[in-house]
Amino acid sequence: MGNPFSLGGIAPGHRVLDFGCGAGFDMFVAGNSVCTGGLVCGIDLTEDMVVRATDNLRQAGLKNFEVRQVDAEDIPFADDFFDVVISNGVINLSPCKQQCFAEIFRVLKPGGKLHFADVILEKDLPSHLIGSLEAWSQ
């Protein structure tokens, strides 16, 4: 989708959340940035992606990570826990964006950063696309 790392650095020792981690590629990149003193956590909606990310990260030798399955936008971590939240092409899929952003900002430490790469709507959709599956896929 994009490159959430182009929006700013991740420092050694940081705690990073990957919101919608998929197969774990961005977690791998973040894990190499936070080094052994940091932590990278990922959440995803599907068990298949949680298993795939966990397997991929173990095979890559990453040790400072955890991946959890979630059922909705609720993030299963404490308030003010993360230094950085990254997301790559996932927030646009959420039908509850206000709750999504509220949860992200809840788990970010004061002064923490959100780095996301996503699809945005720059103008109103034509009436025939509003609410259609085609609108979600373009």
Q: Give the separation between CA 106 and CA 118, rounded to whole angstroms.
A: 20
Mean pLDDT by groups of 10 residues along the chain of 138 residues = 78 96 95 95 96 98 96 91 94 86 96 88 80 63
Asked if 75 and 105 count as a contact pair (C-beta separation under 8 A), the reply is no
- How high is the pLDDT of residue 69? 96
Q: Give the separation between CA 114 and CA 104, rounded to whole angstroms.
A: 8
pTM: 0.87
CATH class of the domain whose range is 7-137: alpha beta
Handedness of CA 58, 64, 65, 66 (dihedral sign): positive
> Domains of the chain: which residue ranges?
7-137
